[in-house]
Structure 1
Amino acid sequence: MRSTYKQLYYINRSKIKSDGTTSIMCRITIDGKAVTLATGLYCQPEEWNSAKGEVKNSRINGMLNEYRKRIDDTYDNLLKVNGIISAEQIKISMTGEFNVPQYILQAGEVERENLKIRSVQIDSTSTYRQSKMYQYYLREYINSLGKKDMLFTDITEEFGNNYILYLKMNYPHKPSYRNHCLCWLKRLVYLAVDKGILRFNPLDDIKYEKKPQTKLMYITKNQLQDIMSHPKSDPLQELARRTFVFSCFCGLAYVDVQRLYPHHIGTTAEGRKYIRTYRKKTDIEAFIPLHPIAEQIISLYNTTDDSRPIFPLRYVV
């Protein structure tokens, strides 16, 4: 089926040059998605006929007709080669801005580079690190099919189902991890849809596996009392126990407790201690009055030297 395709010329009235001319722009719309291109042609605003998309100057009109013909030829050529067409593809062919990855593993590496840049911006590398394994399993599966990579146009629903089956047969992962692997695969295919390589995601109908019911969603009051009443002989285990109890009474995540320094502790006019800090995940300030038990625990550690955190927690980056 031939796409709904149209062109529209207009002038950019927001940017007028010193000589009074403004640029003529071209908007290409295919199946409801539009892109804008600069034609490189200029005219006086009063010479522009918006109803006809023409200029009074016949020479510029001739150049516009040539530009229109070039777009039509590009559209026909891409349609013959790819079978599908998008406004973004025409823009890329006309301007030569960049090449859209046509292969799924190639697109995965590009997306990982984007995640790497994003990880620096948000100061969190978890998604980038996890994508390494998702990309590894996808590559391993495609290699098991005797291929180095696969075109997006060759991806089918059967391919996605067989990929999940491959993971089940070869790796003892939980359903939640397989869901993450499938999510990575769908993510790459959705990117291909956004770039106009595919018209739809053939993996849309593949359902994620149901996660088994979590055995422990929370601890009870009795369980917390049991933890509090059984100190550990090992110093590191005892530090972990106290840190956990402190977190329970303060509602802070482990990373927030890890980032606590003496300057985060304050005292109200009534003499009650509190914590004022910014949460790592949300960067929202939290004001937490200290429970007597939490205050007792914190008094056992560093509350004076602001060059060191309060709790001497050890962790692996």
Structure 2
Amino acid sequence: MITPQAVKARYLGEDDQHKTLMELVEYHNTTMHNVLKPGTMKNYYSTKKYLDMFLMEKRKTKDIYLKQLSYRFITDFEQYIRTYKPKKARKTCTNNGTMKHLERLMKMTNLAVKLEWLDKDPFRNYKLSYIKNERSYLTQREIDLIDNTTFKSPTYERVKDIFLFSCYTGLSYVDVKELMSTQLLIGIDGNYWLNTKREKTNETVKIPLLPKAKQIMEKYMQESKATKKLLPVLSNQKTNQYLKEIVKASGIHKHITFHSARHTFATTVTLSNGVPIETVSKLLGHTKLSTTQIYARVLQKKVGEDMDLLIHHYKEKEQKSSEVKQSGQPQFLP
């Protein structure tokens, strides 16, 4: 429809035909502010900063029209992120970090296509390429090494306990930090259960406490009555700082962060002890089984045990076959 308002909007470049990249970014961040988690929004703001710098340094402009987005723009932006050297002491963005920024830009351009601000997706010929990294986790021997290492400082002991609690429950740092004493319930089996929601996905998680996790929880029960928090958790930065020294003092030479406890729960505590992956997925609060498979590793020990069972099965089969032959009876083996 041709109206005075439409003519004015087209003249000023304010209609949908002339939407700009930064308008799209602003629209996305404003509308998603109450939908996405603060941590996720922080990442989108980081991508916006990279876009601002790229436009100013490489395109000598503050903004561009959405219709100017192209495959060339995407690849140039990728190279800019890969080679950008921050003024502060920080590493250049890794391959996966770069891909994350491009993935966020892709989500925003997909939104523009849905809003009909863009006719075609500029990412249609571009493929994100992530490098699969081995996720660090602890073996049972290493868990025991940490557990058996004692520290004079009560702070170190607390960080150690909280980390081990996460190893035996699979909860992430923020989920452990937000645990309230009221979320500890007695289940139908008469044991302690944690009834909580994952901060990241808002999925309800019900976790029966293993004996080690129960011991740690009971250790801080008196303190919990005063604070209402189930466990005394320090800031994420401090926790990882102390944890680094705890791991080193325990004689473990691995890069371990607090999140490694979640991988440890999935791998060493549950899967390697025969817990089905569907149960592990439920305990971790995953919405898709494929997400759990990222954490899951078929451990050498588990492979060995499974093959031993198979060998035993074949031996039994051969023994039965041999007995039947000796008896002279017709064979009807499955």
Tell me which interval the TM-score lies in, with the shorter structure as reference length. 0.5 to 0.7
Quick one: which amino acid aligns to residue 136 of structure 1? K
In the TM superposition, residue 277 of structure 1 has moved relative to its aligned partner by 1.4
Tell me the residue number matched to 1:143: 56
Out of 184, 189, 209, the position equivalent to 1:290 is 209
Tell me the residue number matched to 2:293: none
Q: State the distance in 2 between where 1:252 and 1:148 align.
A: 43
Quick one: which amino acid aligns to residue 296 of structure 1? Q
The count of aligned residue pairs is: 221
Q: State the distance in 2 between where 1:168 and 1:251 align.
A: 33
In the TM superposition, residue 142 of structure 1 has moved relative to its aligned partner by 0.8
Q: Which runs of 5+ in 1 are unaligned?
A: 1-70, 82-91
Matches within 5 A, 1:185-264: 185-216=105-136, 218-264=137-183
The DSSP-based 3-state class of the residue aligned with 1:250 is coil
Out of 19, 25, 50, the position equivalent to 1:108 is 25
Q: State the distance in 2 between where 1:135 and 1:315 align.
A: 27
Structure-2 change in CA distance of 1:211 and 1:233 (3 Å): farther
Tell me the residue number matched to 2:253: none
Partner deviation per Cα, 1:76-126 (whole Å, 9 max, x = no partner): xx9xx9xxxxxxxxxx99xxxx9446110121112111121324xxxx212
Tell me the residue number matched to 1:183: 103
The DSSP-based 3-state class of the residue aligned with 1:138 is helix
Structure-2 change in CA distance of 1:269 and 1:125 (3 Å): closer
TM-score (norm 1): 0.61
Quick one: which amino acid aligns to residue 46 of structure 2? M
Out of 182, 194, 199, the position equivalent to 1:276 is 194
In the TM superposition, residue 285 of structure 1 has moved relative to its aligned partner by 4.5
Q: State the distance in 2 between where 1:260 and 1:125 align.
A: 19
The DSSP-based 3-state class of the residue aligned with 2:225 is coil
Contact 1:302 1:310 in 2 (8 A): yes
The DSSP-based 3-state class of the residue aligned with 1:276 is strand
Matches within 5 A, 1:63-142: 71=1, 99-100=15-16, 102-119=19-36, 124-142=37-55
In the TM superposition, residue 213 of structure 1 has moved relative to its aligned partner by 2.4
In the TM superposition, residue 284 of structure 1 has moved relative to its aligned partner by 4.7
Larger Rg: 1
The DSSP-based 3-state class of the residue aligned with 1:127 is helix
Higher strand share: 1
Contact 1:108 1:188 in 2 (8 A): yes
TM-score (norm 2): 0.58
Q: Share of identical aligned residues, percent? A: 20
RMSD of aligned residue pairs (Cα, Å): 3.0
Partner deviation per Cα, 1:139-194 (whole Å, 9 max, x = no partner): 11011111121111111111110111111121411111111211222223223322
Structure-2 change in CA distance of 1:238 and 1:196 (3 Å): same
Structure-2 change in CA distance of 1:260 and 1:156 (3 Å): closer
Q: State the distance in 2 between where 1:193 and 1:285 align.
A: 34
Contact 1:227 1:241 in 2 (8 A): yes
Structure 2 residue 234 is matched with structure 1 residue 314: yes
In the TM superposition, residue 251 of structure 1 has moved relative to its aligned partner by 2.9
Contact 1:276 1:285 in 2 (8 A): no
Q: State the distance in 1 between where 2:38 and 2:155 align.
A: 27
Tell me the residue number matched to 2:325: none
In the TM superposition, residue 293 of structure 1 has moved relative to its aligned partner by 2.0
The DSSP-based 3-state class of the residue aligned with 1:177 is helix
Quick one: which amino acid aligns to residue 168 of structure 1? R
In the TM superposition, residue 299 of structure 1 has moved relative to its aligned partner by 1.9
Q: Which runs of 5+ in 2 are unaligned?
A: 86-91, 238-334
Q: State the distance in 2 between where 1:162 and 1:214 align.
A: 29
Q: State the distance in 2 between where 1:205 and 1:266 align.
A: 52
Deviates more, 1:162-171 or 1:307-316: 307-316
Structure-2 change in CA distance of 1:99 and 1:314 (3 Å): farther
Q: State the distance in 2 between where 1:201 and 1:147 align.
A: 22
Q: State the distance in 1 between where 2:197 and 2:188 align.
A: 25
